[in-house]
Structures are given as structure tokens and as C-alpha cells.
């Protein structure tokens, strides 16, 4: 299925580079581009892309506010932030605005493609370097360090409000497998409800949805 993508970045060279790379994919079509947030919001309403690749630092209207308006006006459009900044505050803000992904500009094209595929499935995606920094910080926590990589993924998706069916689709596993991971999470963290798991993930900074 063809994926329609809109490019929003105030640097023409970056837009040209992204266009050249993405158009090599036969299932991707670039339907428009803009150099500022305000124009991006207007053009997205006209072109109705599946995904917007959004720079955060743009003139007239920043990418966070532009994302907020796009999600409000075009709820079926997904936004992936593309930024040179790995500051956790910016990551949190863009996800609060409704973004589905956050990829660093220094990352390889493969990461952007992974983020696009995740957004198409209704899942979130955070650049590997940012995830590494979060995991490095949390690895000192005695309980968190006992979790497997897959259990950490499930914990984050639970905190983002995903259902068992949605988590299974995101991770390409069965619902039964997700249930098993959730039971292991509760056992290892000595918790007894989804609410407790969510509070733990937010408090420890595992999810970008909250500070």
C-alpha cells in the first residue's frame, strides 16, 4: 500500500535529501513539503498525507505546535519528529502534542523507515540513541535491571495506553505472549495492576508521554 508523506523542515537541503532517499522506496510518495510550521499545517489539510516528517525548530510556528494542530485537524495523519536535539523535554513535548515517533537527524535512513512503519501500525518509535540514554539512566534501578528488553518494550506500550491486541500488533507477537510478559512484569516489579505498571513507567521516565 502506498504511503503518502509530507516533509516539513526549514532547511531545503534536508528536505531534498529526505525526498531523494524516501522516493527510492516504491511504496512511498512525497505529496508536499514546507519550510515553516504554519504553512505545514495549511498544506497538510490540503494534501492529507499519511505521515508528516516534522522538524521541531521551524520559523513562524514550531514543530510541536504544528504537530498539535495537525493531530487535531487531521486525526488520521501521523507525525514523526526529525530533530538534531535529544533533549528529553523536547521528546516529551512532541509526544504530548500527538507525535508517533522521534528520530534524530544523525540517524540512518533505516531508523526513519522503522519509525514510518511503526506509525503505520499505530505504534510509537523513539530513536535508538535516545532509548539507549533512557535505558542507561534506568539500568541503575534494581528492579528495572531485572527486566528483559522485550519486557521493557511491553512496559512502555502499557504506559502509553495500548491494549493487549495493539501491543501484540506492535511487537508482532501473539496476545498470549503479551499476557505472559505482563504477568512477568507484575511479578518482577511486585505490582498487581496496569495502573501500577503505568505509574512506575512514568515515574522512572521509561515513557516519553509524561515528565
Q: Which domains does the chain have, with CATH numbers?
A: 3-126 (3.40.50.2300), 138-203 (1.10.10.10)
Distance CA 59, CA 198 (A): 36
What is the C-alpha separation between 201 and 180, in angstroms, rounded? Answer: 18
Where is average pLDDT lowest: 12-16, 166-170, 207-211? 207-211
Q: How many C-beta neighbours within 10 Å does residue 93 have?
A: 21
pTM of the prediction? 0.68
Residue 33 has pLDDT above 90, yes or no: yes
Return the higher-pLDDT residue of 94 and 202: 94
The residues with which 177 forms a beta bridge, in sequence order, are none
Over residues 64-77, the mean pLDDT reads 94
pLDDT value for 133: 62
What does DSSP assign to residue 35?
S
Q: Nearest to residue 41, comparing CAs of 49, 102, 13?
A: 49
Q: Taking residues 167-172, report their average pLDDT.
A: 87
Averaged over 175-179, what is the pLDDT?
94
Provide the mean pLDDT of the chain.
86
Q: What percent of the chain shows pLDDT beyond 70?
A: 89
Q: Is the pLDDT of residue 151 over 60?
A: yes
Residue that wins the pLDDT comparison between 177 and 139: 177
**Phi/psi at 114 (5° precision):** -60, -40
Q: At residue 208, does pLDDT exceed 60?
A: no
**Percent over 90 (pLDDT), the chain:** 46
Amino acid at each position: 500500500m502506498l504511503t503518502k508523506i509530507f516533509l516539513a523542515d526549514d532547511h531545503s537541503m534536508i528536505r531534498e535529501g529526505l525526498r531523494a532517499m524516501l522516493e527510492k522506496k516504491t511504496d512511498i510518495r512525497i505529496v508536499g513539503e514546507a519550510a515553516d510550521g504554519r504553512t505545514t499545517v495549511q498544506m497538510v489539510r490540503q494534501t492529507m498525507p499519511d505521515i508528516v516528517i516534522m522538524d521541531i525548530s521551524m520559523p513562524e510556528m514550531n514543530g510541536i505546535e504544528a504537530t498539535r494542530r495537525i493531530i487535531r485537524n487531521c486525526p488520521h495523519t501521523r507525525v514523526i519528529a526529525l530533530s538534531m536535539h535529544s533533549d528529553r523535554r523536547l521528546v516529551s513535548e512532541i509526544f504530548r502534542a500527538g507525535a508517533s515517533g522521534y528520530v534524530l537527524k544523525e540517524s540512518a535512513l533505516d531508523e526513519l523507515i522503522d519509525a514510518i512503519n511503526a506509525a503505520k501500525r499505530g505504534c510509537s518509535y523513539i530513536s535508538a540513541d535516545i532509548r539507549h540514554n533512557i535505558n542507561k539512566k534506568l539500568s541503575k534501578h534494581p528492579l528495572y535491571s531485572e527486566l528483559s528488553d522485550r519486557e521493557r518494550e511491553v512496559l512502555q506500550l502499557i504506559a502509553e495506553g495500548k491494549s493487549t491486541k495493539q501491543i501484540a500488533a506492535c511487537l508482532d507477537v501473539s496476545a498470549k505472549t503479551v499476557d505472559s510478559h505482563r504477568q512477568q512484569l507484575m511479578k518482577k516489579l511486585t505490582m498487581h495492576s496496569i495502573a501500577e505498571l503505568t505509574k512506575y513507567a512514568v515515574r522512572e521516565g521509561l515513557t516519553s508521554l509524561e515528565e
